[in-house]
Amino acid sequence: MGQVEQAINVLKRGGIVAFPTDTVYGLGASAVDDDAVARVYEAKRRPRHLALPLLLSHISQIESVAQFVPEIAWRLAERFFPGALTLVLYKAPGVSSVVTGGGNKVALRVPNHPVPIALIQGLGTPITGTSANITDGPSLLTAEEVRRQMGDRVDFVIDGDCPGGMDSTVLDVTGVMPRILREGAISRDEIDRFCSTKMR
């Protein structure tokens, strides 16, 4: 059995898995398993009021986790998904408040990497896509770094490469104008140029 198949089985049993993405190593649990999501918070030592981003396998899944999706969000998704852009939208009613830290917004991304896509498709639900590191520490790019820092707090680590090597850019599109919450792999200039063109 391959590593991805093993990881899917771990996720189905409520476990948490570290995996390579197009940006940095991610830490995944089933987004519909509150106990598993809670373990992600514990493994990262992440405060529970800070939301966890979700990874989707395709742009068509956006409306399963978000509502009131504005036109500019769809255009951004069409341009930058799959890729290193995370969009913040109002969460759909079915998204657990455990994932969103008790808030009414959800961050989502479609990664440009076959491993997380295969995990999501094999599991049949979105997975958490937070970075596989201790909160406030540097993002990790190799399986060995993850094993060394996270230890037995993670149930399974998939070996692989993170070609981007930089965190995603996080863009809140719930307001009148898109607002960058974290500049990452996609530059502020690129976002500004795209939004100014599309919103004329």
Q: State pLDDT tens for residues 142-174.
A: 999 999 999 999 999 999 999 999 999 999 999
User: CA end-to-end span of the chain, whole Å?
Assistant: 52
pLDDT bin (cut points 50, 70, 90) of residue 186 is: very high
pLDDT exceeds 60 at position 200: no
Q: State pLDDT tens for residues 96-146.
A: 999 999 999 999 999 999 999 999 999 999 999 999 999 999 999 999 999
Q: pLDDT value at position 199?
A: 58
In the three-class reduction of DSSP (H, G, I as helix; E, B as strand; rest coil), residue 171 is classed as: strand
Helix ranges (DSSP H) in the chain? 3-12, 34-44, 62-65, 71-80, 114-123, 143-150, 188-198
Beta bridge mates, 67: 90
In the three-class reduction of DSSP (H, G, I as helix; E, B as strand; rest coil), residue 141 is classed as: coil
Helix axes 114-123, 3-12, angle to 10 degrees: 40
Q: Which CATH number does 3-198 carry?
A: 3.90.870.10
Q: State pLDDT tens for residues 28-43.
A: 999 999 999 999 999 9
Rounded-to-integer distance, Cα 65 and Cα 191, Å: 23
Six token digits for residue 115 = 């491993």
